[in-house]
Structure 1
C-alpha cells in the first residue's frame, strides 16, 4: 500500500438530503480513480458504500460508510453519510473527523430542509464546505434556481466555480470558471474533452470569472494588492485565495455534476486535491482540558475513535482518525478513558465492507482496526508517555421514545445486553429501565431510527421484540395544607404493632420560611432523585414519639412519595411536619411507625388539593413555509402552545411547548404532513399542571 505524505491526504464528508446522490457520487469517485472496475448503483444494490442488508431493503443509506480513492497522487478519504435526520449521529461523528464537507444539492429541488439542518452542523464544527449541485442531467433540473437558493440560504460566500451547458437530458458540457475552459463529456461520461468556451457563453463566463477572482482576492491582503495591481489573478493565486477563504468559512465553492453519468466528478476531485485543506492545514484539535493538539506526523501518536460498528460475522470494527504522529501495526496505545492498553493488531483502510491491510498510518489519515477490547466511540488512544484526551463528539439528545419488550420473557437479559452494545455503537440511542414506569424505554431520533434498532434486534441478535406505547412519567404535588392522623394497631398474640402519627403537609417552594406555629426540633431537606424536594420536620413536643422512630416515619413517607396517591407517580415539592402521636412501650416498633407515617401522608395528600404535573418539552419544527399551516394545526391539536416563529431562508422555524403525552408517533405524523420535508428537535423544559379534565381521567381513588 502506498504511503502518503500528510499534506496529500484529504478527508471529505458527503452530506445532503435523501436522493441527492451521495452514494452514487462516492461510487463514481472510486470508479473514476480506477479503484473499482465497474460502477455499482443503488437500484442494483451493488454499491461499495451501501452494503448492509437493511440499506438494500430501504434503498438508502443508514450508516456512514468510509471509502478512499487515489486521485493524481492524493488520497481522498470519503465518508458517505445518510440523508435522513433520524441517523444524525452518523453525520455528526463523520463531521468530527472530516476536513471538508461536500454538500450535495439535488438540481430539481434546490435547498431542502435536510440541507438546512445539516448545514447547521457544519457551522457548529466550523468545517470548510463546498456545494455540488447534482443531477443536472435530470429533465427537471434547474441549476441556477438551485444556486439562487444556496446563496439565499447560506449567503454570498457561496460562489460559482462552474455551470452546466445543455442542462437536462442533453447535458454534456461544463463551463469551468477557474480554468476558463469548457469540458465536453462523451455520452457515457468519464474523461472530458477540453474546449474553448463558446462565443455565446463568453460574456457570462467572463462576468462570473471576475466574481470568482474578487472572492478569491478578498481573503488575503497580498492577493488583494495583486488584484488591484494586475486587475486579475492567475489560477495558482486564485487557488491560494480560495483555500484561505474555505479555511475561514468565507468561501463556499459551487460545482455542478451528474454523478450517475460520471460527468464532473473528476474536476471536483482535482479541486479537492489542489484547494481543499488537509488535516495539517486545519486548526489544531482541542483537548478535554482546553489545550491544543496539532496534526503533526512527527508528534506523539494520538488516535480518536469516531465510530464503532459490530458486524455479524466479523465482530467489532473501530474507526479512527490519526490526529498526531504515526501508528503502526502491533503498536500499544493507552485508552485515556479506561486507562487500559490496547494493541493495534491489524490496521486497515476501508472501502465500504472491503478492508485493505496497511502497516502504518500517519497524522490526518482515517483507518480502522478490529476487536479492540474496551475502546468505544469518543475514546482517545495515546502513547504511554504522552497522555491526552481529545474533546468528545457532542451528540444530540434523543427526540422520541417507545417502550420495548422481548416477546419471550426468557430473552429479557439477552435484550438488555444487545441494547447496551447498540448504544455503544450509536450514542444517539438511549435505553433505560424505568423503575417508575416499570418499562424498558428506548429513545431515538425518529421512527426510522427506532425501527432500525428493532430490525437489528430481530435480524442480528435474534430477539423478537414488541414496541409498546410508553407510559408518561407524571408527577404529583399539592396546592394547600392538610392534616391527617393515622393509628396503626395490630394484635396477633404476643407482641403486637402500635403507632399513631399526626402530621401536616404543605406545598413546598424554594426559600420559604420554616413553620412558626410549630416547634421545630429537627429538619431534613431531601433532593429527590426524580426532581423537586421533600422537607421533613420533627415537631414532636414532650416525647410522645421517641426520636428513634422519626426515621421510620420518614421512610414511610418516602415510600408513599414513590407511588403517589393519585396516579402512582412520584410526588415532589412537599414539606411534612410530624407534630404529635402516640407509642406503646412494648408494641411500638419501626415497622409500625413506617406504616403509620405512610398512611397518614396518603390521607393528608388526598385532602391537600392534589395536582398532577406532566412533562413539557420545548419543540422546534423546521418546515417549508407553504406547509406551516398544517404543521401548526397539528401542534395545536396536541395541546401545544406556540411560543414563536423565525424565518430561516425558505423555511420557518416553529417554536412550541408540547406535552410529552401528546408526542407519541409525532415523527411519523410530521413526515406524513410534509412529505418528509420537515424536521424537529425537542428538549425537556419543565413539569406543569395538566388540565383539570385530563387530571380527572388520570386520577384513581383506591
Structure 2
C-alpha cells in the first residue's frame, strides 16, 4: 500500500440497523477498487469484513472492521460496524474516530432502532451525517418512503438527495446525479443521459438540492436569489459546506444497492468530496485535573502525537492487535518507545500495519489522521491514548452504556479456574461494554454485557483463548435488614473438664437506615469488661456477610449491647464472640426482618403501536411506571423495576417488538421485597443452610 498524506485521507464509518447492508456495501467498494476480484456474500461466509469464525457462524458483524480503500489517489479508511444492538460499544468507538458518519438505511424497512441509536451517537460526538438508502433492488424497496421515514424520525434535519434511483426493486439499475444531471448505471463508472421519463422528477429534486446548497453559504444564497440557479461547482461547494458542518443539520442522501453493486462508485466519490480531511478535525482531550478541552484544527504531522485506540483484539496465535487513529502527529515503522498517556506506561511499537479484514498490510509511515494497527502492545487497551513521552495527551473516551445482561460463570476445570481471571480481563480490556467481577456477596463470578448474544460471543472467545466456561443465571444480590427494635440475651457456657467458656450478652438490634452497621455499648457498672467489646463486635460481624434469614448480607442495623455477665476464670474472647453472634441472630429474627432488593430505573423505547404490549408486560414485573413520552412515532417508558424481574428482559423485549425496541437500565436503590415473594426466597434458603 502506498503512503498517503493527511490531505489524501478520509475516515468514514458505516452505521445502521442490523441487516441494512453495511458489510455488503463495503464488499462492493472493495471490488470497485480492485482489492478483491469477486464480491463475497454473507450467506457464503466469505466477506472481507466478517472474517471471524464467530461472525461467519452467526451471519452478522460482531466487531468493527477496518477496510482501507485506495480510490482515485486517496485512501478511505472505511469502518464497518455491527448493527446488532448488543454491540453498541463498537459503534460508539468507531464514530469517535471517524470524520463522517454514513447511516445506512434499508429501503424496505426505513428507519429502525439501530438507525436511531447510531444517529444519536453521531450527534453526541458532533459528527456530520450522510444518509444512504440501500438495498434498492429488494422487493418492496421504496426510496420515497425511506426518505420520509428519515424526515419523520429526525424532523430537525433537512434531508437532501444528491442521487435519486433509476428504477426500483428488480428494475433498479442506476442512479441520477442531481449535481451533474447525468445517469450512472450499474456501479456508476460511466456517465449517461437521464432517461426521458425521469427528467421531470430529476429537475424537481435538483431545485430542492440547489436551495439547500445555497442556504449553506451567504454568497451562494445571494447568487441564487439574483440568478435563480447555481452552477454544478457551486452546488458542490454548498453541499460540501453543509455535509461537513454538523451544526447546519443538512444531510445529503444517496441511494445504492450493495448486493448488486449499483450506485457505489458515486458514493465513494462522495466520500472524497463531502467528507472533511482529517486535518479539519478537532478532538477533545482530558487535562490532568479532569477537565476537558478541544485541540483545534488544523492537525498535522508536526503536532505532538495523539493516537486513540478504538479497538483491540486478542488471539492465541496472533497475540494482541491494537487499532488506532492518529488525531495529531505521525508514526513511522522504526522501532520506538511511546507513552500510553492513559496509564503512564511505555509501549514499544516495532512495526506498523493496516488490516483489510484479517489481512495484515505492512506500512512504513502513518500520517496525521490515518488509522493503523500495532501488534503485541502489552499495556494498552481499547480507549487508551498513545502519545510521545515528552508531550502526554489523553483523548477523552466515549461514555459507554451500563450493562443490561449478566451471567454467573462456572469454570469447567481447575485449569480453567486458574486462567479465567486473566482471559476475562483481556476480553474486557478489548470491549469497554463488557465487565467482570467477583461478587463476594453472592459468591459468584459475574460477567456483564449488553445482551445475551454479547455474552455468548464473549464466552466463545474465552473458549478460543483456552478457558471453557459454563453459565447460569446470577443470584439476585438481596440484602437483609430489620424494621423494628428487639432484644435478646444469649449465654454461652461450655465446661469440658478443664478450662471452661462463659459469656453472656444482652443485645438490642434496631434499624439504622442508610447508616450501615453500627456497634455500640450501653453497659453500665462493669457487667462486661470493655476488653470483651471487640469480641462481641467480631461475633456480630461474622453474621453480617452470611445473613440471618436467607443467607444474604445484613445492612443498616445497629447492634447495642446493654447488659451481660462474665466469669472471672472462664470468660474469654471466643466465649463472647459466640454469645454476641447468637444474641444478634435471635434479636434480628425478633426485629421484624425484611429482605431488600435492588431497584433499577429502566427506560424502554419502542414503536408507539407497541407501547400497550410493553406496559402489559411491565405490569407482570412489579414495575412502577414513572412516565411515558411519545415522539416521532416512538414511545419511551420510564419505570422502576426490581432487578430480579429484569434478568433476561432483553430477550423478552426482542420477542415482543421483533427487535425494534431498546432499553437502558441503571441501579437506583434498595427497597423491601414484598412479603409473599420474600417467603419463597427464605424458604428456598433453609434446605441449603441445613445442608451446610
Distance in 2 between residues matched to 1:685 and 1:588, nearest whole Å = 46
What is the match of residue 529 of structure 1? none
Equivalents in 2 of 1:26, 1:435: separation in Å?
Answer: 46
| Cα distance between partner residues in 1 of 2:235 and 2:519 | 73
Worse-matched range after superposition: 3-12 or 61-70: 3-12
**Are residue 209 (structure 1) and residue 206 (structure 2) matched?**
yes
Give the alignment partner of residue 627 of structure 2, picking from 631, 638, 644: 644
CA drift at 1:410 = 4.2
Q: Write out aligned runs for 1:211-360 (5 A).
A: 211-246=208-243, 247-249=245-247, 250-288=249-287, 289-294=291-296, 295-329=299-333, 330-360=335-365
Name the counterpart of 1:517. none
Residue of structure 2 equivalent to 1:6: 6
CA displacement at 1:650 relative to structure 2: 2.7
Q: 2:164 — aligned with what?
A: 163
Deviations 1:615-641 (A, max 9, x none): 111112222233333332222222222
Q: Indicate conservation of the 8 Å contact 2:284/2:292, yes or no.
A: no
CA distance in 2, matches of 1:287, 1:18: 33
SS at match of 2:183: strand
Deviations 1:41-65 (A, max 9, x none): 1122111110011111111111111
Alignment of 1:4-403 (within 5 A): 4-155=4-155, 156-183=157-184, 185=185, 189-246=186-243, 247-249=245-247, 250-288=249-287, 289-294=291-296, 295-329=299-333, 330-403=335-408
**Which residue in 2 is equivalent to 1:558?**
541
Asked whether the equivalents of residues 282 and 295 of structure 2 are also in contact (C-alpha less than 8 Å), the reply is no
Match in the other structure for 2:531: 548
Q: Report the Cα distance in structure 2 between the residues aligned to 1:202 and 1:675, rounded to whole angstroms.
A: 40
Structure 1 equivalent of residue 652 of structure 2: 669
Alpha-carbon distance in structure 1 between the residues aligned to 2:30 and 2:474: 45
Bigger shift: residues 477-486 or 170-179: 170-179
Which range is displaced more, 256-265 or 646-655?
646-655
* 1:516 alignment counterpart: none
1:504 aligns with 2:508: yes
Do the aligned residues in 2 keep the contact of 1:556 with 1:597 (CA within 8 Å)? yes
Distance in structure 2 (CA, Å) of the matches to 1:343 and 1:222: 51
TM-aligned CA distance change 1:561 to 1:229, over 3 Å = same
Equivalent-residue separation in structure 2 for 1:648 and 1:76 (angstroms): 36
User: Do 1:287 and 1:293's aligned partners in 2 also have CA atoms closer than 8 Å?
Assistant: no
| CA positional deviation for 1:198 | 4.1
Structure 1: stretches of 5+ with no match in the other structure: 511-531
CA distance in 1, matches of 2:432, 2:320: 16
Distance 1:327 1:21, change over 3 A: same
Indicate conservation of the 8 Å contact 1:113/1:651, yes or no. Answer: no
How far residue 81 of structure 1 moved from its aligned partner, in angstroms, is 0.8
Give how far 1:199 is off.
Answer: 4.4
C-alpha separation in 1, matches of 2:93 and 2:576: 55
Whole-angstrom CA distance in 1 between matches of 2:240 and 2:519? 65
Distance, in Å, in 1 between the alignment partners of 2:233 and 2:676 is: 72
SS in 1 for 2:676: helix
Matches within 5 A, 1:463-478: 463-478=467-482
RMSD of the alignment, in Å? 1.9
**Partners of 2:564 and 2:648 in 1: how far apart?**
51
Q: Could you tell me how far apart the structure 2 residues matched to 1:634 and 1:407 are? A: 36
Q: Distance in 2 between matches of 1:337 and 1:667?
A: 33
CA separation of 1:603 and 1:150: change in aligned 2, threshold 3 A: same
Question: How big is the shift at 1:470?
Answer: 1.3
Larger deviation, residues 226-235 vs 131-140? 226-235
**By how many angstroms is 1:674 displaced?**
2.2
How far apart in 1 are the matches of 2:675 and 2:89? Answer: 40
2:459 aligned with 1:454: yes
Task: Spell out, residue by residue over 1:636-667, the C-alpha distance to the aligned partner (whole angstroms, 9 max, x if none).
Answer: 22222222222232322222222111223222
Cα deviations by residue, 1:515-564 (Å, 9 ceiling, x for unpaired): xxxxxxxxxxxxxxxxx512332322223222232222222222212122
SS of the counterpart of 1:470? coil
3-state SS of paired residue (1:269): helix
Equivalent residue pairs, number = 676
- 1:588 and 1:65 mapped to 2: Cα distance? 71
1:587 aligns with: 570
SS of the residue corresponding to residue 130 of structure 2 reads: strand
Q: For the residues of structure 2 that align with 1:595 and 1:234, how far apart are their CA atoms? A: 92
Tell me, in whole angstroms, the C-alpha distance in 2 between the residues paired with 1:356 and 1:666: 43
Question: 1:328, 1:344 within 8 Å by CA — same for their partners in 2?
Answer: no
Assess if the C-alpha contact under 8 Å between 1:423 and 1:429 holds in 2. yes
Unaligned 5+ residue runs, structure 2?
Answer: none
Shift of 1:108: 0.7
Q: Residue by residue, what CA displacement relative to the aligned partner does 1:124-178 show, whole Å, maximum 9, x if unpaired?
A: 2221111100011112101100100001101242222221121110111312222
Distance 2:647 2:513 in 1: 32
CA distance in 2, matches of 1:628, 1:286: 41
Distance in 2 (alpha carbons) for counterparts of 1:78 and 1:673: 34
1:624 to 589, 607, 610: 607
Any residues of structure 2 matched to 1:386-535 within 5 Å, and which?
A: 386-458=391-463, 460-509=464-513, 533-535=516-518
Q: Alpha carbons of 1:552 and 1:178: their partners in 2 closer, same or farther (altered >3 Å)?
A: farther
Moved more, 677-686 or 242-251: 242-251
Instruction: Report how far residue 499 of structure 1 moved.
Output: 1.9
Q: Quote the Cα distance in structure 2 between the aligned partners of 1:76 and 1:506.
A: 67
Query: 2:306·2:395 contact (CA, 8 Å) conserved in 1?
Result: no
Query: Distance in 2 between the 1:642 and 1:118 partners?
Result: 27
Between 57-66 and 230-239, report the one with greater CA deviation: 230-239
After TM superposition, give the deviation of residue 192 of structure 1 in Å: 4.3
Is the 1:65–1:81 contact (alpha carbons within 8 Å) kept by the matching residues of 2?
yes
SS at match of 1:182: strand
Q: TM-score, normalised by structure 2?
A: 0.94
- State TM-score, norm by structure 1: 0.93
